Structure 1
Amino acid sequence: MSILFMFLILFALLVVGVPVAVSLGLASLFFILMEGIPNIVLLHNMVNGINSFPLIAIPFFILAGHLMNTGGITNRIFAFARSLVGWMPGGLGHVNVGASVIFAGMSGAAVADAGGLGNVEIKAMKDAGYDTDFSVGITAASSTIGPIIPPSLPLVIYGVMADTSIGQLFAAGLVPGLLMAFSLMVMVSWFAKIRKYPKDDHFSFKVLWSTFKRACLPLMTPVIIVGGISTGIFSPTEAAVAAVAYSMFLGLVVYRTLSFNNILKVSQETIETTASILMIVAASTIFAWILTANQFATFFADQLLSFTDNKVAILLIITLLVLVIGCFMETIAAITILVPVLLPIVIQIGIDPVHFGIILILNLMLGLLTPPVGMVLYVLAKVSDTPFERCVIATAPFLVPLIAVLMLLTFIPAISMWLPTMIYR
């Protein structure tokens, strides 16, 4: 009964707009007081929740993304993507997707992608005569590729919560991320045919080579990160530090676009973002501990399996559950709450934790494109000076290919498991 009240308090606090970390902490505190558990347990579990070496990767990946944005790297990436795929019908729509794939290997966050590339992409598409709705919709949808292709902040959090290899999770995200990009480019081609969108420009090896030379060093960032992890040169956490060092090298030494004031500003932004994430992780750790200690996961699993033991049906139920929760809860909080509950179930029905991690993260990324949370939509509404409601409507068609990819990944494990199997197993 106390757990039921704990959930009710949590959802009530979230509905009235209390921050996620505070909501989780207060709901957990209520349970502890009701059950007469010593208060020190609350603090002990919260501290242990963030006392994790892999979590050190979070501030460094965030800082690397900020440094890339501030150092003008996004413009070089956009120019290269434009010369690579801009010649296709609906060219700038394809450029939008291609730039997101490249930037995904640097930032690891959908909001960073939307905020960093969104301004450049939407302005270029508007200037070229593309509809505002189409520009905003494809920018929002393509930003969800960021947390799937390594490096990925949500995958780091999942790896910590599920005690699963982050290196394998990074490897598992590469092919699904490219599949997402392909599906969105198919959608762009369809829109281009229906609305008669123009090609951006004729393909030119000269222009391609010129833009590649300007973007060559930034393009090495994902190679350094993924290559270093897969070859065992450094761990995912150490890869985050390498990404920051390389970003600083490009901004300070090569391009000289970073100043002391720039670095100070992005450091402050990184501290703020990291603090908010770790507060959520700390608060949700005690929440997850309460659920685990009271065998809530076992109870939930028994109830679900008593309803059906069909693997396909269970996967569909879990997918629907995560989709709904993703619409109302911030990604990091959703991961830390859902993993202790759902992971025992998927393991029991024979699903690899690495495979489930990719399904879970993609599922939650769709929540970034749907109200009422929809953080990507809020960012793009500000960047494009478009009403939030219009952004929601503009993004809706692009949910179709993303949901199709989610279903493929859910029921064809080989798509996500092929690469980690080749490298690690």
Structure 2
Amino acid sequence: MLIWFLPAFLVLLVLGLPVFFGLIAAPGILLWLNGQERDITLLYRNLYNGMDSFPLMAIPFFMLAGELMNKGGITIRLVEFSQALMGHLRGGLAHVNILSSMLFAGLSGSAVADTSALGSMLIPAMEKQGYTRRFAAAVTAASSVIGPIIPPSGIMIIYAYVMGESVAALFLAGIVPGALVGIGLMLCVRVLADRYDLPKAERIVHRGQSIAPTEGWISLVMLRLNLGGLMAAIAAIFVPLNGWALTAFFVVVAHVLLMWLRRRVDSDFRVVAKKAVVPLQTPIVILGGILLGVFTPTEAAAIAVFYALLVGFFILHSLKLSDLPEVLSRAAMTSAVVLLLVGAAMAFKTVVSLSHAPQILAEFILALSDNPLILLFLINVLLFIVGMFLDAGPAIIILGPILGPIFTDLGVDPVHFAIIMSVNLTVGLATPPMGLVLFVASSVSGEKVERIARAILPFLAVEVAVIFLITYFPAISMTIPRLTGFVN
């Protein structure tokens, strides 16, 4: 009888019960009807145990870091930098919207935060430039799903927690798929630009900008260290030299290269680029610290909060003490929602194991075909449908323990399957009829959800194509983790 937990949960969702209560009520009712009252105690104890986890503390810290960055005006700097790079192209502000989402993904890791922060700024700006409101909202919603793919990513932390995988490996595996989604959306905009005669935008948002001397020097040093460090990391794969000597050499190379570029761009572009350097250190600090073993993902999230406070108060001077109560309350509310869902989903997982659903579903799936390629196609279809109705976090916690072992036994790398599942369910956030970011985009833009849903279809087609690319070409997501030694 317990096998009916999923249909019962879906019925409760259709009746309008919030996901959290549905995750608790459906298995609780079935356990009671099945005469397993003692297991109901286990179910509700696991609600707390599911949240009582050190790795999950990374989620509220990342939420808080994102809120601090947004309140501190960093979002505006990222948009201006994106405008400087992409604004001159046909459909310029649409490209800016997508690139801003890719940059913002490295700060918040949340699709909802991306839609809310960037949408409130870019949707009105796109309307002024001649875009329709529904197109602007659709681009914002479609590009916001990049947030949980490019690290740091809340849903990847959840997957790693549930399935016992390495957070660092999942973060690294998400870099190329996230970039592919962004590039695919830009190509889609380029095709639509001619069809709908989309307008251009100016390359620089505001001319005659200035930067504080302290921030200017920090940006100058950090840019050379970043570029030199990246070149040294790539070279270290092929050249067995001392790490510090190699890094010092490439920092000098980076300085020469940047001085050569300096003479080929105007002063406004240089200022806008410099103003983006300090905010963009956040993902570098997070990933660098985790990969070098300096701190754990949870500690990295706390460091991100410290860095956001440092930047907001002492470098940019854009935060005030009076801003903190609002920032803390917004981060607390968002984190509470996510952690309650995680706790409820972990309790839900108790009934999954008691019902033997994983074994039953595994037998059913393997009876369809023994070809992993066909099974991956069918699972992608299943995940896409699930993503239409269920948020990515709960879906991962419910389906991960069921589907993950099946495909691991078929020879699919656990990290590869994690990325397939994470990207697929993330795209579901922007998929009608229940995609969460569609409702956020509707709230921000004032446009009806149905109209946004129709306008987003070409972008969803691109994202589905990327899902199948990562599914059938594992090297896309697995190359970086393998090169860095996090996956064999």
Q: TM-score, with normalisation over the residues of structure 2?
A: 0.84
Distance 2:77 2:159 in 1: 32
The residue aligned with 1:182 is 183
Q: Counterpart of 1:89?
A: 90
For residues 205 and 163 of structure 1, what CA distance do their matches in structure 2 show? 50
Moved more, 114-123 or 35-44: 35-44
Contact 2:43 2:348 in 1 (8 A): no
1:2 and 2:16 matched = no
Q: Helix, strand or coil for the counterpart of 1:225?
A: helix
Aligned to 1:419: 480
**Local SS of the residue matching 2:89:** coil
The residue identity in structure 2 corresponding to 1:25 is: I
| Residues 149, 422 of structure 2: 8 Å contact kept | yes
Which has the higher mean CA deviation after the structures are superposed, 39-48 or 265-274?
A: 39-48
Q: CA deviation at 1:133?
A: 2.9
Matched residues in 2 for 1:8 and 1:98: separation? 40
Instruction: State the Cα distance separating 1:115 from its structure 2 match.
Output: 0.4
Quick one: distance in 2 between partners of 1:403 and 1:396?
A: 10
**Residue matched to 1:348:** 409
C-alpha change, 1:216 and 1:342, in structure 2 (3 Å) is same
Whether the 8 Å CA contact 2:404–2:414 is kept in 1: the answer is yes
Once residues 199 and 267 of structure 2 are traced to their aligned partners in structure 1, the CA distance between those partners, rounded to angstroms, is: 21
- Residue 43 of structure 1 is matched in structure 2 by 44
Judged with a 3 Å threshold, the aligned counterparts in structure 2 of structure 1 residues 400 and 371 are, in CA distance, closer, same or farther, namely closer
Shift of 1:197: 2.5
Establish whether residue 191 from structure 1 lines up as the match of residue 252 from structure 2. Answer: no
**Deviation string for 1:90-125 (max 9, x for gaps)?**
211111111111100000011100001111111221
Q: Is the 8 A contact 2:68 2:308 kept in 1?
A: yes
2:15 counterpart letter in structure 1: V
Residue number in structure 2 paired with 1:60: 61
| Residue 336 (1) aligns with residue 337 (2) | no
Partner of 1:222: 283
Partner residue of 2:22? 23
Deviation per CA, 1:358-417: give whole Å up to 9, x if none.
111111122211233211111111211111111111111111111110110011111000
Aligned counterparts, 1:94-113, within 5 A? 94-113=95-114
Tell me whether 1:273 sits opposite 2:329 in the alignment: no
1:366 alignment counterpart: 427
Partners of 2:89 and 2:201 within 8 A in 1: yes
What residue identity is the alignment partner of 1:282?
A: G
How many Å separate the matches in 1 of 2:452 and 2:7?
31
Does the 8 A contact of 1:3 with 1:31 survive in 2?
A: no
Distance 2:148 2:481 in 1: 17
Structure 2 gaps, min length 5? 205-264
What is the aligned residue count?
424
Looking at structure 1, the residues matched to 435 and 23 of structure 2 have their Cα atoms a distance apart, in angstroms, of 20
Q: CA deviation at 1:208?
A: 1.9
**Given that residues 2 and 351 in structure 2 are in contact (C-alpha distance below 8 angstroms), is that contact kept between their aligned partners in structure 1?**
no
Question: Which of these residues, 378, 390, 394, is aligned with residue 455 of structure 2?
Answer: 394
How far, CA to CA, are the matches of 2:471 and 2:283 in structure 1? Answer: 26
Report which of the two structures shows the higher radius of gyration computed on alpha carbons.
Answer: 2
Distance in 1, matches of 2:389 and 2:473, equals 28
Aligned equivalents of 1:291, 1:387: Cα separation in 2: 37
Greater Cα shift, 82-91 or 285-294: 285-294
**Deviation by residue 1:235-269 (Cα, 9 ceiling, x = unmatched):** 11111111111111111222222223321112112
CA contact (8 A) 1:141 1:369 kept: yes
Alignment match, 2:325: 264
Task: Give distance in 2, aligned partners of 1:222 and 1:324.
Answer: 32
Question: Aligned partners of 1:2, 1:295: CA distance in 2, in Å?
Answer: 9
1:299 correspondence with 2:360: yes
Which of 266, 271, 276 matches 1:210?
271
- Alpha carbons 2:407, 2:417 under 8 Å: kept: yes
Please state how far the C-alpha of 1:348 moved relative to its aligned partner: 1.4
Contact 2:72-2:318 within 8 A present in 1 as well: yes
Moved more, 107-116 or 335-344: 335-344
The amino acid that maps onto 1:71 is: G
Q: Are positions 1:14 and 2:26 aligned together?
A: no
* More divergent stretch after superposition (199-208 vs 262-271): 199-208
Return the TM-score normalized by structure 1: 0.96
Aligned equivalent of 1:283, options 344, 357, 361: 344
2 CA distance for matches of 1:268 and 1:200? 36
Please give the secondary structure, in 1, of the residue aligned with 2:431.
coil
Assess if the C-alpha contact under 8 Å between 1:146 and 1:152 holds in 2: yes
Question: Deviations for 1:143-195, whole angstroms, at most 9, x for unmatched residues?
Answer: 11110000000111111111110110000000111111111111111112223
Alpha-carbon distance between aligned partners in 1 of 2:70 and 2:99, rounded to the nearest angstrom: 17
1:375 aligns with 2:374: no
The AA in structure 1 aligned to 2:25 is L
SS of match in other structure, 1:12: helix
Could you tell me how far 1:37 is from its partner in structure 2?
Answer: 4.3
Q: Distance in 2 between matches of 1:371 and 1:232?
A: 41
User: Contact between 1:326 and 1:365, CA under 8 Å: does it hold in 2?
Assistant: yes
Q: Contact between 1:162 and 1:353, CA under 8 Å: does it hold in 2?
A: no
The equivalent of 1:165 in structure 2 is 166
Q: 1:32 matched to which residue of 2?
A: 31
Question: Do the aligned partners of 1:167 and 1:235 also contact (CA within 8 Å) in 2?
Answer: no
Aligned-pair RMSD on alpha carbons? 1.5
Q: Within 5 Å, which residues of 2 pair with 1:293-332?
A: 293-332=354-393
Q: Which residue of 1 aligns with 2:219?
A: none
Distance 1:294 1:281 in 2: 20
* CA distance in structure 2 between the partners assigned to 1:293 and 1:2 by the alignment: 8
Aligned counterparts of 1:141 and 1:360: Cα–Cα separation in 2 = 18
* Distance across 2 between alignment mates of 1:138 and 1:61: 24
